[in-house]
């Protein structure tokens, strides 16, 4: 990532963490709900490692919600985080489950090679203009990496309204599963495990406050879960699912 790209991304996230009052509480609750599903994905993939990771670092840790959820699952003994947002680092530093949180420039990570057993890039790469250098840098300091992104190369995400929504939250790429495999290969990594998830009901319901909206969310979640269960490939082409992969050095 270039210095200019890092600065622009930092400004986006500083703004997102500047909400106050009830808005701040609502966004915090949303991040906490999202963190639970993400933590489940990381834990499932980490189970494929030869040994339980003793040290874990999240790149782009935000307010630390995912790290706290991973701590509750006992995934690692030592949890660290890096983020480009000063406000996010302040939030995350207040979580006692996280040993250390630092701000970084969005490109270079302080640390020697293989400092950590496991690195996590959860919903970060879709926000980065050039994802490969950051993935390669994460792999430098970590023995293995879990990456999660939304697979948005589908019919639903191609609609103009959805595209505007993606841009509003800073998504720069519409990834497919094949795209993630390609990024891994370019970073010198191989896919050792992968999973996809149309997301739990609580995620679909979170922003649905009215009865009619909740009914639509229930129907949407059920229909997507059925299609994903019987035809996962067709589901990925039809709507956005979240995809996570365990990446290890290519041999």
pLDDT digits (tens, 9 = 90+) for 199-249: 888 888 988 889 999 999 999 999 999 999 999 999 999 999 999 999 999
| Confidence (pLDDT) at 200 | 86
Q: Using H for helix, E for strand and C for coil, what is the string for the chain?
A: CCHHHHHHHHHHHHHHCCCCHHHHHHHHHHHHHHHHHHHHHHHHHHCCCCCCCCEEEEECCCCCHHHHHHHHCCCCCEEEEEECCHHHHHHHHCCCCCCEEEECCCCCCCCCCCCECEEEEECCHHHCCCHHHHHHHHHHHECCEEEEEEECCCCHHHCHHHHHHHHHCCCCCCCCHHHHHHHHHHCCEEEEEEEEECCCHHHHHCCCCCHHHHHHHHHHHHHHHHHHHHCHHHHHHHCCEEEEEEEEECC
Nearest in space to 173 (alpha carbons), one of 149, 193, 197, 189: 149
Percent of the chain topping pLDDT 90: 75
Residue 17 has pLDDT above 80, yes or no: no
Q: Is the pLDDT reported for residue 94 higher than 80?
A: yes
Quickly state the pLDDT bin for 144 (edges 50, 70, 90).
Answer: very high
pLDDT of residue 146 exceeding 60? yes
**Contact criterion met (CB below 8 Å) for 83 and 103:** yes
- What whole-number distance in Å separates Cα of residue 250 and Cα of residue 247? 9
Decide which of 82 and 204 is more confident. Answer: 82
Greater confidence, 45 or 17?
Answer: 45
Q: What is the mean pLDDT of residues 149-156?
A: 92
Q: What is the pLDDT of residues 110-125, one digit of tens each?
A: 999 999 999 999 999 9
Region 147-175 average pLDDT:
87
The answer to whether residues 104 and 156 touch, using CB atoms and an 8 Å cutoff, is no
Q: How confident is the model at residue 2 (pLDDT cuts 50, 70, 90)?
A: very low
Whole-number pLDDT of residue 9 = 55
Residues 175 and 235: beta-carbon distance below 8 Å = no
Q: CA–CA separation, 93 vs 89, rounded Å?
A: 6
Which residues are 194's β-sheet partners? Answer: 245
Domain architecture of the chain: domains with CATH: 3-197+242-249 (3.40.50.150)
Distances (CA, A) of 76 to 54, 114, 231: 5, 16, 35
Q: Given this model, what pLDDT does residue 21 score?
A: 78
Residue 25 CB partners (closer than 8 Å, separation 6+): none
pLDDT the model gives residue 112 = 95
- Taking the C-alpha atoms of residue 244 and residue 41, their distance in angstroms, rounded to an integer, is 7
Mean pLDDT over the full length of the chain: 91
Identify the band that residue 1 occupies on the pLDDT scale cut at 50, 70 and 90.
very low
**Does the pLDDT value for residue 19 go beyond 80?**
no
pLDDT score of 107 more than 50: yes
The per-residue pLDDT for range 176-191, each reduced to its tens digit, is: 999 999 999 999 999 9
């Amino acid at each position: 990532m270039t210095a200019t790209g890092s600065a622009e991304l930092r400004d986006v996230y500083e703004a997102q963490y500047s909400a106050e009052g009830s808005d701040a509480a609502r966004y915090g609750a949303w991040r906490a709900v999202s963190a639970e599903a993400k933590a489940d994905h990381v834990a499932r993939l980490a189970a494929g490692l030869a040994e339980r990771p003793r040290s874990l670092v999240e790149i782009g840790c935000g307010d630390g919600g995912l790290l706290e959820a991973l701590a509750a699952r006992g995934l690692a003994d030592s949890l660290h985080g890096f983020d480009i947002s000063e406000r996010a680092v302040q939030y995350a530093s207040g979580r006692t489950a996280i040993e250390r949180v630092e701000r970084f420039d969005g490109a270079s990570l302080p640390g020697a090679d293989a400092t950590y057993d496991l690195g996590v890039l959860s919903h970060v790469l879709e926000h980065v203009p050039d994802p490969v250098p950051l993935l390669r840098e994460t792999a430098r300091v970590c023995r293995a990496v879990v990456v999660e992104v939304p697979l948005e190369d589908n019919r639903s995400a191609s609609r103009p309204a959805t595209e505007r929504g993606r841009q509003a939250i800073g998504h720069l790429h519409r990834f497919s599963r094949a795209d993630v495999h390609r990024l891994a290969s370019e970073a010198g990594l191989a896919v050792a495990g992968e999973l996809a998830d149309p997301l739990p009901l609580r995620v679909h319901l979170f922003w649905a406050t009215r009865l009619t909206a909740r009914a639509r969310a229930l129907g949407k979640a059920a229909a997507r879960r059925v299609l994903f269960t019987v035809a996962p490939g067709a589901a990925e082409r039809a709507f956005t699912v979240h995809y996570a992969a365990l990446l290890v050095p290519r041999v």
